[in-house]
Amino acid sequence: MNIHIIGTSHIAKQSAQEIKQFILEEKPQLVALELDAQRAYALLHEQKNKISLAAMGQIGLKGYLFAKIGQIVQQKLGKMVGMTPGSEMKTALKLAGEQKIEIALIDQPIQITLKRFSKSLTWKEKGRFLLDLIGGIFNSKKQMKELGVEKWDLQKVPSKEVIAKLVQEMKKKYPSIYRTLVEERNKYMVKKLVQILRQNPEQKILVVVGAGHEEGMKELLAKVETLK
């Protein structure tokens, strides 16, 4: 199984550079991205991919609010480092096009993810999220110390150890959110990759996903390889 996974931060220059280096040096035959058609189109056409109020009926209030908050946070952080959120995905799309490399969009459609998020989020998790948000404002240094981080460098992807701690914390405190945003999408994307591999088992594939998906997808792919 000739698959290389790059776990990214959507606002880190390091991620865009790592993707560019791998594509130009390793020359994969296919680039698989944690995108659906709607988000890929928005990136390539420099649209902000805003979730409209009209979409609330389809994705639910909680999914709508989560998407809006996520957009605002990413845009604020992106401005701090001079990077547009999703720049690493756009780099992969453009480079793959220039190098005549096949592209696969392997993520679950965003509307489905947000709809499932709305249905699965519990009142307990909503209350815990609010408390964590308030606590995070006043105790950010304490939380960073618990993660073993002295200072966040937004231009770099956090270490695998820090990512693992964050994912485990999410799984423990917000099980339904973890299941909807991470676990289910990991399975969806790995299923897509398996379908691609069945058609072209010898292809060299670059997979670009958020860092929180990397280890989970590697574990699922290892299980597939063992079953083979």
DSSP string for residues in 184-201: HHHHHHHHHHHHHHHH-T
Q: Is there a contact between 204 and 22 (Cβ–Cβ < 8 Å)?
A: no
Phi-psi region of 82 (alpha: psi -120 to 50; beta: other; left: phi over 0): left
Question: What whole-number distance in Å separates Cα of residue 211 and Cα of residue 228?
Answer: 26
Is residue 137 predicted with pLDDT exceeding 50? no
Q: Is there a contact between 11 and 78 (Cβ–Cβ < 8 Å)?
A: yes
pLDDT score for 138: 45
Instruction: For the chain, give every domain's residue range.
Output: 3-227
Which strand (E) or helix (H) includes residue 124? helix 123-138
Listed in sequence order, the DSSP H helices in 31-122 are: 37-44, 56-59, 61-81, 87-98, 110-120
Entry pTM:
0.87
Q: pLDDT above 90 covers what percent of the chain?
A: 51
User: If 0-12 CB within 10 Å is exposed, 13-18 middle and 19+ buried, where does residue 57 land?
Assistant: exposed
pLDDT (tens digit, 9 = 90+) per residue, 142-162? 566 666 666 677 788 988 988
- pLDDT tier at 68, thresholds 50, 70, 90: confident
